[in-house]
């Protein structure tokens, strides 16, 4: 297992095995959105440009080390110690390469910034150490915390082998459910400290900052489970507040929304006093935390 | 040895070299203070390194093995503060103290008493910082970047950390003032600025960066302090403050700080490569201008550390493009070093080996830096192990290897003895192989989705973490060879000549005896 990965990684390093470059154990995932694909190809383009420059520059260095060594009788040629033309050349060529990189990068950046015409808006609030998801205009709201099995296993001296836990540290009690082929807008904020919401397959990473509302969006083209983690150090359990997004068909999503709304309604009718207390307690608790 | 002693005694009979502990406590001699700085940096390198090994031990496999996550956060926070402010920066100041007077033909640094204070602040600062581990709530755990509101949640470690940072900042500013005053006023006759050795040039520019940004850091942490204890709301949104403003202020310090940690390394490599390629530095003027451009650009790129905070599009565009520009002067430097080796006559003594490793491995860090500049891609890299790999490549086989190259280059001049070349070669090869085993896999971890600053990880990241930890332990323990070698060299060894190296002898430091006399130059040498 380890050997195979090391070998194929060496293959990638040598540029010999582009086919395995998509194995997600050592490269960025291609992702399931248009933006993620663009980001992945930007990443690969810049990577290969770096490889090409490295071949040229390291090649010149290695050639010098081999060819111009005193032990082989090399005598230093001290006649040329500076050359304006050479300096201009090796300033201009990088400028051109950088412009070549900047243009597609800027285009992608503009597209990522465009959160207009979203069909679904979800407000995400980071807490120490969980996420809250509120589906705006749908009356759905829930917290999402680390799954119980992972939570048992991750305790110090738990005696549980993490390898026996399915999706260790990447499973939650309540997954975010979104429809496929739908532009989903995210509104991110936090209640205590700064967190950051990241799902690599969507190429979305945005900080959730108390007092601010940040925007991001994604449009998944593929049904499936996509995982991510908090990526801004947020205290003791920063490593234990994963994100799981379940992308379902539009029909399944409509059914899920109806179920959630029915459940919320039942809960509100059945336990109205509890629900009210819960909402009034939340701001008080957060004010206490802020003190 | 005996000859050198009589020579020194004869030339400098007015020297009253203090003896005993007083020589170090009340040191005003640039060499003694340089030695103190270097030994302090070495000690901190091992303390910070022990923390790093504790981190790598915890990350060897998934699941929590040894530490509570809160303590793990303290480890990673202190590791960074100790390595940056305790190891790399003092090591560079130590080298500046030793070498700047020797390189510019001055008897000593311009402000010897301030030099003493600036060193002796440091042991107190780090005692304060490290003692915070024993306070209620443990050591600082909010990351060395101290982002509020998280950093404001700290317990009693908080004021200790802040005061320690204030003291480190004061020490750095004093050191920087000394470097500037010395270089500007005490150069030997005939040494115009464009004849200054590159190590002095890069340090001069570094010193200006320090003076410009250390007060900014001091201001930022003072605002944190008043937010915590005096009810202000600079960064507290509940009181109308802005947590993102801290990040802007911090990185306005933080990005020039990155160059404070690497520009002197550029200077060292620019000294060593010509010596062992037996060819003067190619494009000296271009090297000076490139250093100055990097320093200038360092002030206008800070927000690339915070692409994910939700800046306006125009801001992201600006910081992406300005950051990409840094590749140009950095590239010029790498090309000029390569051109220096081209058609040279190279030998591979330990300083040259470390300088060459720097050249290759720093460049790898440069490439990942260029990738990180691409804002849309940075959204995927930000706060993952890809970033960890990037900055460790520029700081360990970058800055730290350059410091080691400098020690191997100048140690015979300092002690008057040659060191054990065989041991130095072993140290080089074990370090160079293991540092790559340690940090290269972290690129893969980051790209595959492992966030940084987590004590535990999902099982698909196991393999590369194991490889990285093994590399970390080999690298860490191989540094003991370095200590043994320095110890042996201080104690004795073959007598070093004035010139020390069979190479292109450039610079005034090679015109004085080895070990260098207590007062480097009593009569200024003439430079043509
Ligand atoms: Cu978090």
Question: Over the stretch B394-404, which tens digit does the pLDDT of each residue have?
Answer: 999 999 999 99
Ligand 1 center to residue A194 CA distance, Å? 7
Give the domain extent around A226. Answer: 120-289
Q: Give the per-residue pLDDT at B314.
A: 95
Read off the CATH number of the domain in which A92 is found. Answer: 1.10.287
Q: Give the per-residue pLDDT at A158.
A: 87
Mean pLDDT, residues A39-59: 95
Decide if B334 contacts B363 (C-beta within 8 A): yes
DSSP strands (E only) in B303-402: none
Residue B17 has pLDDT above 80, yes or no: no
Inter-chain CB proximity B243 and A194 less than 8 Å: yes
Residues on chain A touching B143 (C-beta within 8 angstroms): 233
A183 and A60 within one domain: no
For chains A and B, what is the number of CB pairs under 8 angstroms?
A: 294
A132 and A10 within one domain: no
Interface test with B, best of A158, A212, A238 (most B CBs within 10 A): A238
Please give the model's pTM, rounded to 2 decimal places. Answer: 0.91
Q: Give the per-residue pLDDT at B15.
A: 56
% of chain A at pLDDT higher than 70: 85
Ligand 1 center to residue A208 CA distance, Å? 9
Residue A17, classified by CB atoms within 10 Å of its CB into exposed (0-12), middle (13-18) or buried (19+), is middle
Give, in degrees to the nearest 5, the angle at Cα B127 between B121 and B132: 130
> If you count them, how many residues does chain B have?
528
Of A57, A106, A169, the CB nearest to B317: A106
A138 and A103 within one domain: no
Distance from CA of B137 to the nearest CA of A (A): 11
A125 and A176 within one domain: yes
A227 and A157 within one domain: yes
Q: Give the per-residue pLDDT at A24.
A: 62
The chain B residue lying nearest A63, using CA atoms, is B342
Mean pLDDT, residues B330-351: 94
Residues on chain A touching B447 (C-beta within 8 angstroms): 26-28
Q: Give the per-residue pLDDT at B21.
A: 85
Query: What's the CA gap between A89 and A226, in Å, rounded?
Result: 46
Interface test with B, best of A12, A94, A153, A284 (most B CBs within 10 A): A94
Q: Give the per-residue pLDDT at B125.
A: 96
Lowest-pLDDT choice from A9-13, A38-42, A246-250, B104-108 = A9-13
Average pLDDT, chain B: 92
Query: What's the CA gap between A158 and A169, in Å, rounded?
Result: 14
Query: What's the CA gap between B181 and B207, in Å, rounded?
Result: 10
A221 and A91 within one domain: no
Inter-chain CB proximity A156 and B68 less than 8 Å: yes
Query: What's the CA gap between A84 and B116, in Å, rounded?
Result: 44
A157 and A99 within one domain: no
Distance from CA of B266 to the nearest CA of A (A): 17
Residues on chain B touching A161 (C-beta within 8 angstroms): 63
Q: Give the per-residue pLDDT at B66.
A: 93
CA dihedral B206, B208, B210, B211 (to 10 degrees): 170
Domain count, chain A: 2
Where do we find the tokens 């260029």?
A: B370
Residue B385 has pLDDT above 60, yes or no: yes
Decide if B238 contacts A287 (C-beta within 8 A): yes
Query: What's the CA gap between B221 and B234, in Å, rounded?
Result: 11
Decide if A226 contacts A201 (C-beta within 8 A): yes
Q: Give the per-residue pLDDT at A272.
A: 52
Distance from CA of A265 to the nearest CA of B (A): 33
Query: What's the CA gap between A19 and A271, in Å, rounded?
Result: 56
Ligand 1 center to residue A128 CA distance, Å? 6
Decide if A228 contacts A160 (C-beta within 8 A): no
Decide if B114 contacts B178 (C-beta within 8 A): yes
Buried b (16+ CB within 10 A) or exposed e, B191-208: beeeebbbbbbbbbbbbb
Cis preceding-peptide flag for B515 (omega within 30 of 0): yes
A253 and A188 within one domain: yes
A211 and A188 within one domain: yes
Residue B492 has pLDDT above 50, yes or no: yes
Inter-chain CB proximity B376 and A39 less than 8 Å: yes
Tell me the helix, strand and coil percentages in chain A, rounded to 5.
50, 20, 30
Active site residues of B: 79, 108, 144, 171-172, 255, 257, 259, 270, 304-305, 330, 333, 452
Inter-chain CB proximity A212 and B449 less than 8 Å: no
Question: Which residues face A224 on adjacent strands?
Answer: A247
| Residues 6 or more apart in contact with residue B268 via CB below 8 angstroms | B95, B199, B355, B402, B403, B405, B406, B409
A208 and A169 within one domain: yes
Decide if B73 contacts B453 (C-beta within 8 A): yes
Residues on chain B touching A53 (C-beta within 8 angstroms): 367
Phi/psi at A258 (5° precision): -60, -45
Inter-chain CB proximity B149 and A193 less than 8 Å: yes
Of A1, A153, A230, the CB nearest to B63: A153
Of B150, B278, B375, the CB nearest to A234: B150
Ligand 1 center to residue B257 CA distance, Å? 27
Mean pLDDT, residues A269-289: 45
A275 and A131 within one domain: yes
Q: Give the per-residue pLDDT at B526.
A: 82
Query: What's the CA gap between A210 and B149, in Å, rounded?
Result: 9
Ligand 1 center to residue B219 CA distance, Å? 27
Ligand 1 center to residue A206 CA distance, Å? 12
Decide if B54 contacts B79 (C-beta within 8 A): no
The candidate with the shortest Cα–Cα distance to B204, out of B302, B328, B295, is: B295
Q: In angstroms, what CA-CA distances link B326 with A96, A168, B119, B288, B372?
A: 14, 40, 32, 15, 12
Decide if B303 contacts B231 (C-beta within 8 A): no
Cβ count near A150 (within 10 Å): 22
Continuous segment of H or E residues that includes residue B455: none
Q: Give the per-residue pLDDT at B371.
A: 95
Strand order in the sheet with A184-190: A140-144, A130-135, A120-127, A184-190, A214-218
Inter-chain CB proximity B380 and A39 less than 8 Å: yes
Average pLDDT, chain A: 85
Start-end of H helices in B105-156: 112-131
Ligand 1 center to residue B371 CA distance, Å? 25
Query: What's the CA gap between A116 and A78, in Å, rounded?
Result: 62
Question: Which residues face A48 on adjacent strands?
Answer: none
Inter-chain CB proximity A98 and B324 less than 8 Å: yes
Question: Over the stretch B127-161, which tens digit does the pLDDT of each residue have?
Answer: 999 999 998 888 899 999 999 999 999 889 999 99
A166 and A207 within one domain: yes
Q: Determine the distance from the C-alpha atom of residue B506 to the mean position of all C-alpha atoms in its chain, rounded to a whole number.
A: 24
Decide if B38 contacts B486 (C-beta within 8 A): no
Instruction: Give B472-495 as a 3 state SS string.
Output: HHHHHHHHHHHHHHHHHHHHCCCE
Where do we find the tokens 């540029």?
A: A15
Q: Which residue has the higher pLDDT, A54 or A9?
A: A54
Tokens of B297: 């650009």
Ligand 1 center to residue B376 CA distance, Å? 22
Cβ count near A10 (within 10 Å): 11
Residue A18 has pLDDT above 70, yes or no: no
Q: Determine the distance from the C-alpha atom of residue B177 to the mean position of all C-alpha atoms in its chain, rounded to a whole number.
A: 18
Lowest-pLDDT choice from A137-141, B90-94, B201-205 = A137-141
Interface test with A, best of B332, B390, B451 (most A CBs within 10 A): B451
* Residues, beta carbon < 5 Å, ion ligand 1: A 195, 230, 234, 241
Give, in degrees to the nearest 5, the angle at Cα B390 between B387 and B394: 140
DSSP state of B520: S
Query: What's the CA gap between A100 and B173, in Å, rounded?
Result: 41
Distance from CA of A291 to the nearest CA of B (A): 9
Inter-chain CB proximity B345 and A74 less than 8 Å: yes
Question: Which residues face B495 on adjacent strands?
Answer: B417
DSSP state of B342: T
Question: Over the stretch A61-86, which tens digit does the pLDDT of each residue have?
Answer: 999 999 999 998 888 888 878 888 98
Question: Which residues face A177 on adjacent strands?
Answer: A246
Question: Do the bridges between strand A204-208 and strand A140-144 make them parallel or antiparallel, or are there none, so unpaired?
Answer: unpaired
Ligand 1 center to residue A193 CA distance, Å? 8
Read off the CATH number of the domain in which A279 is found. Answer: 2.60.40.420
Residues on chain B touching A237 (C-beta within 8 angstroms): 69
Inter-chain CB proximity A64 and B331 less than 8 Å: no
Inter-chain CB proximity B310 and A206 less than 8 Å: yes
Distance from CA of A233 to the nearest CA of B (A): 6
Tokens of B31: 């060499």
Question: Over the stretch A156-176, which tens digit does the pLDDT of each residue have?
Answer: 988 899 999 989 999 999 999
Residues on chain A touching B308 (C-beta within 8 angstroms): 196, 205-207, 231-232
Q: How many Cα atoms occupy the beta-carbon half-sphere of B447 within 13 Å?
A: 27
Decide if A224 contacts A181 (C-beta within 8 A): no
Residue A254 has pLDDT above 90, yes or no: yes
% of chain B at pLDDT higher than 90: 87
pLDDT class for B442, splitting at 50, 70, 90?
very high
Lowest-pLDDT choice from A8-17, A281-290, B17-26, B250-259 = A281-290
Give, in degrees to the nearest 5, the angle at Cα A255 between A250 and A261: 125
Question: Which residues face A206 on adjacent strands?
Answer: A197
Residues on chain B touching A198 (C-beta within 8 angstroms): 383, 451
């Amino acid at each position: 297992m380890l050997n195979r990965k090391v070998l194929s990684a060496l293959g990638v390093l040598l540029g010999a095995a582009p086919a395995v470059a998509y194995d997600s154990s050592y490269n960025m995932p291609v992702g399931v959105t248009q933006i993620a694909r663009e980001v992945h190809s930007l990443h690969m383009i810049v990577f290969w440009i770096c490889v090409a420059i490295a071949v040229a520059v390291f090649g010149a260095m290695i050639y010098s080390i081999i060819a111009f060594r005193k032990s082989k009788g090399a005598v230093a040629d001290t006649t040329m110690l500076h050359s304006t033309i050479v300096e201009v050349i090796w300033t201009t060529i990088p400028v051109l390469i950088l412009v070549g990189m900047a243009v597609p990068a800027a285009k992608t950046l503009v597209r990522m910034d465009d959160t207009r015409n979203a069909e679904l808006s979800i407000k995400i609030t980071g807490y120490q150490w969980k996420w809250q998801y509120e589906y705006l205009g749908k009356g759905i709201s829930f917290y999402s915390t680390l799954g119980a099995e992972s939570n048992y296993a991750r305790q110090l001296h738990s005696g549980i082998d993490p390898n026996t836990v399915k999706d260790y540290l990447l499973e939650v009690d309540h997954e975010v459910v979104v429809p496929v082929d739908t532009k989903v807008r995210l509104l991110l904020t936090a209640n205590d400290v700064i967190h950051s919401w990241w799902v690599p397959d969507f190429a979305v990473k945005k900080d959730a900052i108390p007092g601010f509302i940040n925007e991001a969006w994604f449009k998944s083209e593929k049904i499936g489970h996509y995982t991510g983690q908090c990526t801004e150090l947020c205290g003791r359990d920063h490593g234990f507040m994963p994100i799981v997004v379940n992308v379902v068909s539009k029909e399944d999503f409509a059914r899920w929304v109806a179920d959630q709304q029915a459940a919320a309604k039942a809960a509100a009718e059945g336990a109205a006093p509890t629900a009210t207390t819960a909402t009034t307690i939340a701001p008080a608790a957060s004010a206490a935390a802020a003190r | 040895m005996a000859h050198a002693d009589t020579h020194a005694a004869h030339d400098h009979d007015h020297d009253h070299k203090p003896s005993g502990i007083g020589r170090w406590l009340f040191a005003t001699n640039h060499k003694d203070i340089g030695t103190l700085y270097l030994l302090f940096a070495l000690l901190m390198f091992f303390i910070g390194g022990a923390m790093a090994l504790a981190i790598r031990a915890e990350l060897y496999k998934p699941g929590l093995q040894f530490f509570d996550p809160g303590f793990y956060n303290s480890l990673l926070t202190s590791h960074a503060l100790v390595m940056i402010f305790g190891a790399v920066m003092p090591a560079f100041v130590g080298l500046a103290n030793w070498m700047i007077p020797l390189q510019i033909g001055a008897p000593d640094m311009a402000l010897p008493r301030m030099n003493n204070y600036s060193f002796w602040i440091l042991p107190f600062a780090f005692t304060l910082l490290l003692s915070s581990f024993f306070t209620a709530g443990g050591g600082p755990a909010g990351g060395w970047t101290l982002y509020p509101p998280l950093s404001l949640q700290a317990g009693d470690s908080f004021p200790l950390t802040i005061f320690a940072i204030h003291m480190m900042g004061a020490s750095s500013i004093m050191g920087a003032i000394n470097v500037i005053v010395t270089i500007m006023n005490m150069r030997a006759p005939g040494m115009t600025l464009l004849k200054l050795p590159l190590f002095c040039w890069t340090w001069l520019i570094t010193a200006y960066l320090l003076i410009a940004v250390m007060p900014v850091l001091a201001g930022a942490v003072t605002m944190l302090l008043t937010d915590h204890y005096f009810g202000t709301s600079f960064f507290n949104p509940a009181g109308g403050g802005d947590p993102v403003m801290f990040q802007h202020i911090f990185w306005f310090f933080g990005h020039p700080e990155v160059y404070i940690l690497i520009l002197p390394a550029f200077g060292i490599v620019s000294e060593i490569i010509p010596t062992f390629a037996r060819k003067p530095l190619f494009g000296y003027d271009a090297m000076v201008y490139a250093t100055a451009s990097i320093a200038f650009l360092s002030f206008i790129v800070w927000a690339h550390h915070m692409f994910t905070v939700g800046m306006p599009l125009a801001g992201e565009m600006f910081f992406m493009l300005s950051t990409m520009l840094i590749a140009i002067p950095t590239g010029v430097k790498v090309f000029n070093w390569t051109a220096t080796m081209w058609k040279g006559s190279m030998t591979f003594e330990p300083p040259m080996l470390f300088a060459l490793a720097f050249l290759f491995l720093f460049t790898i860090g440069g490439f990942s830096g260029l990738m990180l500049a691409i804002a849309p891609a940075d959204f995927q890299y930000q706060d993952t192990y890809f970033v960890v790999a990037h900055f460790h490549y520029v700081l360990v086989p970058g800055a730290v290897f350059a410091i080691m190259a400098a020690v191997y280059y100048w140690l015979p001049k300092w002690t008057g003895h040659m060191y054990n070349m065989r041991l130095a070669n072993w140290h080089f090869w074990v370090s160079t192989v293991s540092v790559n085993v340690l940090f290269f896999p972290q690129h893969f971890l980051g790209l595959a989705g492992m966030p940084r600053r987590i004590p535990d990880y999902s099982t698909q990241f196991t393999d590369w973490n194991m490889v990285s930890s093994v590399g970390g332990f080999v690298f860490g323990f191989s540094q003991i060879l370095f200590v043994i070698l320095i110890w042996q060299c201080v104690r004795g060894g073959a007598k070093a000549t004035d010139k020390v190296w069979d190479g292109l002898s450039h610079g005034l430091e090679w015109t004085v005896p080895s070990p260098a006399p207590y007062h480097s130059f009593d009569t200024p040498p003439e430079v043509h």
